[in-house]
Each structure stands twice: as structure tokens, then as C-alpha cells.
């Protein structure tokens, strides 16, 4: 593929872009570490977007909206979940303690963007943002056919978003995402992103406004705001359309490339979203899509003119497997035992004809291998891993993957 970013970018003029609004939900605690890269990537391609946070401000000329401004005044003034919101309202992001700032935490754990949630103040507040976000989106930016909701550690293939919409009717109530269950609540996982038609958004906003007090009580009882969103869509007669694996929440280093969905290989499905992406990950994936477009990917009728997981593995993941990486965890988990050194771990993998990769812990001398290819991610600072791949075997594995001869768009639940 072309080594440099193409200019001008074709992604700015793709069919359907004018009918689509990208909606980002974020928070002050992770804003500076994650959001700015989207101004140089996602929002370069998407001509229409809106950003909601728990703190209203102008950031580098971009309007950031207070998503919680329409929550009941009593909750904002008194509920303990809103304590950080009250501080932000009074003093801005300077009110955050160092341990609350995701930018600092982000650097401290070497790019692990999954940390810093759970019981944190920002995480407790986040669950209150979903329903007001739908309301404000429709109020501030009406008239679009499609709304693509994402979070700062999400990455999307913009060309796939638009291609997918071409298969669908926006006048139908589509609420489409990667399905998750908490108890009997089924919903689209927020971090994976989810696609909503204008018909569905209008239904959920009408329901929210008619039942706001009851829904705020329901929200208080839950811990996941995306679960509250899913239940509200369901009550509004716009139940979830399950579209995993097209929309999914893995990082490209952790995706199970060799597995199937039903009787179809994941390898052949269209790919639209990724999650747990650092700013560098998101930029690299965006660059990959632009090079793919510049190299004629959209015009390739043989492949369907859209990105499949096959393409991401072949042109993005596999090239990174040519040499061993220090400080890297490729997720190998088949235990080979304790060996004396890294070359011994390599040879243990080499002796097994099915082995594709290995991982060696320099501190514990533990060697693990795997028969499935996986790129993995940068190891945490306390993990002294070296990871490697038998590249010729990975290439042979790739060549034996099935040919993708049919379109696998998901348009409704089975």
C-alpha cells in the first residue's frame, strides 16, 4: 500500500456523508488524552459532527457541549454522582485532581486505555450522559438520516459506515450495535460505537421527554449508561439490531482472526469499528483506511468496495509481525513451561508445526505459544515480555483462509 497519506483525501467526499452526523461522548477526565487526535483523523473525513462532554468549552476552536445541562436540576445539584460535574462547572478542568486526569493515567500505564474507570468519579457520571445526549443531538443537529455514536477510544472506518447505510432504510427505527447483555437488559456496547437512524432517534427522544422522571430513577439504579440507553430504545419500540461483528469492541491486536460467526468466518465480514484504541492506534488505523482508499479499495468490485477483516489483517496487522518485539504482549497463552532463555522459547514454537507465535517473560522465564495469530499490544511496564511470530507460518495461515465471495452485511436480527 502507499507509504504516505494521500492528499487530497477522498474520504471527505464519499456518498452519504452529508446525511450522517458523528456524535462523540466524552468527559473532562479523558478529554485531552483522547479527543484531540479525532480532530486530525475522524473529523477530517466526517463533515458533520458534534461533541458532548460533562464540561462545556471551546477547545481549539471546536464547540464542546455540556451533555448534562438538561438533566434535572435537583440531580445536578445534589446527587453524589454529579460531584465532579459541580466542580467542573465552577472551575473547569483545572478542578480535576491529578489522579482524576486520564491524560496522566494514560501515560503512567503506557497506553492502556482500559484503565481508570470502575469506581472513578468520571465513570460514575458517565452513565447519566446517554439519554440527554440523544435529546440534545436531535435538538442541536436535526435533519440527518443517520447518527453514528462513538467514544474517544473508539475508531471507525468512515467508508464502511457510509457503505453500510446504503444497504438500509433510514425511515426504519434502526438502533444497531455490538450486542451486550446485563441481566435481561440487551443493549449496544457504547465503546464499540452504534449506528442510529433518524426514525429510531426521534422515537427514543420522544419517549425520554415523556418519561424523563421515571427514566432518571431507572438510570440511578443502573451502573452502565449504555444499558439504560438500550432499555429506553426498546421501550420506544426501536429494539437493538445485533450487528456484531461488523460493529465490535476489540482492539486490532486482540481480534480473533481465525474464528467464525455462525457458519461464516469473521475474516470475511465488513469491519466498521474498533475499541480500546490509544490516540496513536486511532491515528494509525485512520491512516490505513486513507491509504486503502487511495489505492483503489473503494473501486475494487471483486472485494465489494469495502474493508473486511481480511484486509485489516493482511495490510495492517500481518506486516507488524515480521520481527520480534520487546516490551510487547501478543497474547500467546499455550504454556510451554519455564525455559532458560528467549531462543529456547522460539525453538519450542518452531518444533510444533502448528505454532505461529510465542511470548517469553524475561523475569519469570515462562514461555507461552499460540496456534492462532494475534498481534497483541504494548505490555504494561511491569511485564517484561518479548513476543515473536514465525512469519512464514503466519503467511501460510493467511493464504489458507477462506475466499470471501459473498457480502455479509447484517440488516436485521435472525
pLDDT digits (tens, 9 = 90+) for 355-383: 999 999 999 999 999 999 999 999 987 78
pLDDT digits (tens, 9 = 90+) for 204-243: 999 999 999 999 999 999 999 999 999 999 999 999 999 9
Q: What is the pLDDT of residue 105?
A: 36
Q: What is the pLDDT of residue 116?
A: 40
pLDDT digits (tens, 9 = 90+) for 181-198: 999 999 999 999 999 999
pLDDT digits (tens, 9 = 90+) for 128-159: 999 999 999 999 999 999 999 999 999 999 99
Is 84 exposed, middle or buried, given 0-12, 13-18 or 19+ CB atoms closer than 10 A?
buried
Q: What is the pLDDT of residue 98?
A: 66
pLDDT digits (tens, 9 = 90+) for 329-358: 999 999 888 898 999 999 999 999 999 999
- Taking CA 204 as the corner, what is the angle to CA 198 and CA 209, rounded to the nearest 5 degrees? 125
Question: Which of the four pLDDT bands, split at 50, 70 and 90, describes residue 108?
Answer: very low
What does the mean pLDDT of the chain come to?
Answer: 92
Within a 10 A sphere around the Cβ of 3, how many other Cβ atoms? 5
Question: Which of the four pLDDT bands, split at 50, 70 and 90, describes residue 304?
Answer: confident
Q: What gap in Å lies between CA 260 and CA 267, rounded to an integer?
A: 8
φ and ψ at residue 181, rounded to 5 degrees:
-120, 130
Q: What gap in Å lies between CA 335 and CA 109, rounded to an integer?
A: 26
Q: What ranges make up the beta strands (E) of 13-55?
A: 20-25, 49-53
Q: What is the pLDDT of residue 8?
A: 63
Q: What gap in Å lies between CA 74 and CA 374, rounded to an integer?
A: 49
Q: What is the pLDDT of residue 343?
A: 96
Contact (Cβ atoms closer than 8 angstroms) between residue 181 and residue 226: no
Q: What is the C-alpha R_g of the chain? A: 22
3-class secondary-structure state, position 331:
coil
Identify the CA nearest to 31 among candidates 81, 82, 104, 80. Answer: 104
Contact (Cβ atoms closer than 8 angstroms) between residue 4 and residue 121: no
Identify the CA nearest to 109 among candidates 375, 383, 331. Answer: 383
Q: Topology of 324-414 in CATH?
A: Hepatocyte Growth Factor (3.50.4)
Q: Topology of 10-242 in CATH?
A: Spore Coat Polysaccharide Biosynthesis Protein SpsA; Chain A (3.90.550)
More confident residue, 338 or 295: 295
What's the rounded mean pLDDT across residues 104-109? Answer: 32
Residue that is written with C-alpha cell 511491569 in the block:
382
Q: What is the pLDDT of residue 336?
A: 86
pLDDT digits (tens, 9 = 90+) for 7-33: 568 999 999 999 999 999 999 988 888
Within a 10 A sphere around the Cβ of 210, how many other Cβ atoms? 10
Q: What is the pLDDT of residue 93?
A: 79
For the whole model, what pTM was predicted? 0.92
pLDDT beyond 70 at 289: yes
Q: What gap in Å lies between CA 164 and CA 168, rounded to an integer?
A: 7
Omega within 30 of 0 (cis) for the link into 8? yes
Question: All 3 cell numbers of residue 144?
Answer: 440527518
Same fold, 10-242 and 324-414: no
Where are the chain's structural domains? 10-242, 324-414
Kindly report which listed range (167-171, 255-259, 266-270, 401-405) carries the lowest average pLDDT score.
401-405
Q: What is the pLDDT of residue 109?
A: 29
Amino acid at each position: 500500500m502507499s507509504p504516505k497519506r494521500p492528499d487530497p483525501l477522498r474520504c471527505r467526499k464519499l456518498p452519504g456523508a452529508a446525511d450522517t452526523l458523528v456524535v462523540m461522548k466524552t468527559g473532562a477526565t479523558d478529554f485531552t488524552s483522547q479527543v484531540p487526535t479525532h480532530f486530525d483523523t475522524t473529523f477530517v473525513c466526517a463533515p458533520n459532527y458534534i461533541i458532548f462532554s460533562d464540561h462545556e468549552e471551546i477547545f481549539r476552536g471546536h464547540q464542546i457541549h455540556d451533555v448534562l445541562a438538561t438533566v434535572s436540576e435537583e440531580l445536578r445539584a445534589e446527587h453524589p454522582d454529579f460531584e465532579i460535574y459541580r466542580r467542573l462547572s465552577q472551575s473547569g478542568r483545572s478542578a480535576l485532581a491529578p489522579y482524576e486526569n486520564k491524560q496522566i493515567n494514560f501515560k503512567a500505564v503506557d497506553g492502556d486505555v482500559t484503565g481508570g474507570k470502575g469506581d472513578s468519579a468520571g465513570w460514575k457520571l458517565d452513565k447519566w450522559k446517554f439519554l440527554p445526549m440523544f435529546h440534545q443531538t436531535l435538538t442541536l443537529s436535526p435533519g440527518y438520516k443517520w447518527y453514528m455514536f462513538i467514544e474517544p477510544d473508539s475508531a471507525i472506518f468512515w467508508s464502511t459506515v457510509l457503505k453500510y447505510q446504503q444497504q438500509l432504510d433510514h425511515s426504519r427505527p434502526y438502533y444497531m450495535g455490538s450486542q451486550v447483555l446485563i441481566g435481561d437488559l440487551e443493549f449496544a456496547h457504547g465503546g464499540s460505537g452504534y449506528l442510529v437512524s433518524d426514525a429510531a432517534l426521534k422515537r427514543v427522544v420522544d419517549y425520554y421527554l415523556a418519561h424523563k422522571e421515571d427514566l432518571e430513577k431507572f438510570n440511578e439504579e443502573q451502573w452502565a449508561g449504555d444499558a439504560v440507553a438500550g432499555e429506553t430504545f426498546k421501550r420506544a419500540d426501536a429494539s437493538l439490531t445485533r450487528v456484531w461483528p461488523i460493529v465490535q469492541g476489540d482492539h486490532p491486536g486482540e481480534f480473533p482472526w481465525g474464528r467464525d460467526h455462525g457458519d461464516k468466518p469473521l475474516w470475511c465480514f465488513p469491519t466498521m469499528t474498533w475499541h480500546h484504541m490509544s490516540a496513536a492506534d486511532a491515528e494509525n488505523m485512520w491512516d490505513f483506511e486513507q491509504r486503502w482508499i487511495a489505492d483503489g479499495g473503494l473501486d475494487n468490485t471483486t472485494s465489494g468496495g469495502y474493508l473486511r477483516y481480511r484486509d485489516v489483517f493482511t495490510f495492517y496487522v500481518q506486516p507488524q509481525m515480521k520481527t520480534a518485539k520487546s516490551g510487547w504482549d501478543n497474547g500467546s497463552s499455550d504454556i510451554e513451561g519455564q525455559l532458560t532463555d528467549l531462543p529456547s522459547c522460539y525453538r519450542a514454537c518452531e518444533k510444533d508445526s502448528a505454532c505461529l507465535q510465542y511470548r517469553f517473560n524475561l523475569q519469570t522465564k515462562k514461555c507461552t505459544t499460540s496456534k492462532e495469530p494475534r498481534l497483541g499490544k504494548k505490555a504494561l511496564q511491569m511485564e517484561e515480555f518479548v513476543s515473536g511470530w514465525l512469519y512464514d507460518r503466519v503467511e501460510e495461515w493467511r493464504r489458507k483462509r477462506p475466499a470471501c465471495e459473498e457480502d455479509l452485511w447484517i440488516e436485521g436480527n435472525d
